[in-house]
Chains A and B, each alone.
Chain A
Amino acid sequence: MTATAGIVFRLAWRNLWRNYRRTAIVLAAIVAGIWAMIFMIAFTRGMIESMVSDGIRSIPGHVQIHHPDFRNDPTVDNLMPSPGGELAAALGGEDVVAWSSRVRVPAVISSERGSRGVTLLGIDPVAEVPISFVADDIVEGRHLENERDRGLILGRRLLERIETDVGKRVVVMTQGTDNEVVDRGFRVVGVFESEIASTEEAFAFAGRAALQDLLAIGDQVSEIAVLGKNRREAEQLHRRLAETANAEVEVLPWYELNSYLGTTMRTMDGFVIVWIVVIFLALSFGFVNTLVMAVFERVREIGLMMALGMKPRTILAQIIAESLLLLAIGLAVGNILAWATIHLLSDGIDFSFVGEGLEIMGAASVLKPSLGIKDVLLSTAIVLGLGFVASLSPAIRASRYHPVAAITKE
Chain B
Amino acid sequence: MSSGEILKIMRPFTNLLAAIIALAAFQAAASESARDIVKAAIDQWRGSTSRGVITMKIHRPDWERTMTLRSWTRGDDESLVRVTKPRRDAGNATLAKKGSMWTYSPKVNRVIKIPSSMMNRNWMGSDFSNKEISRSDDIVDQYDHKLLETRRSRGHEVYVIQSIPHEEAAVVWGREVLKIRDDYIVLEHAFYDQDGAHVKSLLTLAIGKSGGRTIATRQRMAKVEVEDEWTEIRVEEMEFDVQLRDILFTLSNLQNPRE
Interface residues of A (CB under 8 A from B): 106-108, 110-113, 115, 117, 150, 164, 168-171, 173-175, 179-187
Contact = CB atoms under 8 A, between A and B. Distances in A.
Contact of B120 (A110, A164, A182, A186): A110
Given A108-B117, A112-B194, 11 more contacts: A106-B117, A112-B199, A113-B193, A117-B117, A150-B168, A169-B165, A171-B172, A173-B120, A174-B116, A179-B113, A180-B99
Q: Which label, helix, strand, loop or mixed, suits the secondary structure of the A interface?
A: strand
B170 interface: yes
Interface residues of B, number: 22
Contact of B168 (A164, A168, A181, A186): A186
Contacts of B172: 110-112, 169-171, 185
B101 to A, nearest CB: 9
A182 B115 CA distance: 11
A159 to B, nearest CB: 13
Contact of A183 (B167, B170, B173): B170
B173 A180 contact: no
B100 interface: yes
B169 interface: yes
A171 B195 CA distance: 16
B119 interface: yes
Which has the most chain B C-beta neighbours within 10 Å: A169, A170, A173? A169
B165 A185 contact: yes
Interface string B142-169: 0000000000000000000000011111
Contacts of A168: 194
A184 B170 contact: yes
Contacts of B173: 112
A111 B191 CA distance: 13
3 closest A-B pairs (Cβ-Cβ)? A183-B170, A112-B193, A181-B116
A369 B237 CA distance: 74
A77 B103 CA distance: 24
Contacts of B174: 112, 169
A181 B100 contact: yes
Which has the most chain A C-beta neighbours within 10 Å: B117, B119, B169? B117
Given A111-B172, A185-B170, A169 B117 contact: no
Interface of B: 99-100, 113, 115-117, 119-120, 165-174, 191, 193-194, 199
Contacts of A106: 117
Nearest to B113: A179
A108 B171 contact: no
Nearest to A168: B194
23 contacts: A106-B117, A108-B116, A108-B120, A110-B172, A112-B173, A112-B193, A113-B199, A115-B120, A150-B168, A164-B194, A169-B174, A169-B194, A170-B172, A171-B170, A173-B170, A174-B116, A181-B99, A181-B119, A183-B170, A184-B169, A184-B170, A185-B169, A185-B172
Given A180-B100, A184-B170, A175 B115 contact: yes
A171 B117 contact: no
A399 to B, nearest CB: 78
Nearest to B193: A112
Contact of A171 (B99, B166, B171): B171
Contacts of B170: 171, 173, 183-185
Contacts of A175: 115-116
Contact of B167 (A115, A164, A180, A185): A185
A106 B168 CA distance: 19
A184 B99 CA distance: 14
B167 A187 contact: yes
Contacts of A113: 193, 199
A21 B174 CA distance: 81
Contacts of B120: 108, 110, 115, 173
A108 B172 CA distance: 12
A348 B161 CA distance: 59
Nearest to B165: A185
Contacts of A150: 168
Given A112-B173, A112-B193, A113-B193, A185 B168 contact: yes
Contacts of A174: 116
A108 B165 CA distance: 19
A397 B116 CA distance: 80
A113 B198 CA distance: 12
